[in-house]
Amino acid sequence: MKKVWATIGLLALLIGCSEKEMDNEPKFTVKEAIKNNVVIQNLSDKEHEIMSGETKAEHLVPMFAFLDDVKANKESTLQITVFPKSGEPTTSELHFISEDKTVFTNNNKTFAMPTGEIECMSIRDSNRNFTVDGCNGEYSSVFVFPFGSREYNLAKVEYKKKSKN
């Protein structure tokens, strides 16, 4: 009987130690995501606040390279990582295949848009947001991500400088 209690105590100790190690594991950070992805940080948990500008967009430059590929009818992908105010980040992917086929794999539930693989016909960008249109499913237009006009203009200038070099 003593062996059984000793074994149970040892297992409890091992489980407790492994949980502490899991807590210390590094989490996916903005700094890591920004290397390759467009990054959106939600500054609120309330959808109407997020949609009215409570976000911070970083590293929009890949969006412009993606849009150039779209204009050239060249297959291309764009990854977008959203960091909610509370909760884990999600990375979604926009895959331009041809001028009438784009697939948006949406893993983000923040913007009240459908998740999963959504096939669409066109891409629309402005200096405030990025959407896909002509989509199959519940919505014909799907909101991809928001950004501020200042963030958009700064990234556009940065992209143009990099393109010249």
User: What band does 15 get if pLDDT is binned at 50, 70 and 90?
Assistant: low
Euclidean distance between CA atoms 62 and 153, whole angstroms: 13
**Higher pLDDT, residue 104 or 43:** 104
pLDDT at 20: 46
Write down the number of H helices and E strands in the chain. 5, 9
pLDDT digits (tens, 9 = 90+) for 54-91: 788 889 999 999 999 999 999 999 999 999 888 889 99
Residue 5 half-sphere exposure, CB side, CA atoms within 13 Å?
A: 2
pLDDT at 2: 59
pLDDT at 44: 79
- Token pair of 106, please? 């949406």
Give Cα separations from 18 to 13, 24, 38, 66, 115 (angstroms). 9, 10, 34, 42, 33
User: What band does 18 get if pLDDT is binned at 50, 70 and 90?
Assistant: very low
pLDDT digits (tens, 9 = 90+) for 119-161: 999 999 898 888 999 999 888 998 888 888 999 999 999 999 9
- The answer to whether residue 107 scores a pLDDT higher than 50 is yes
Q: Angle, to 10 degrees, between the axis of helix 149-164 and the axis of helix 61-71?
A: 70
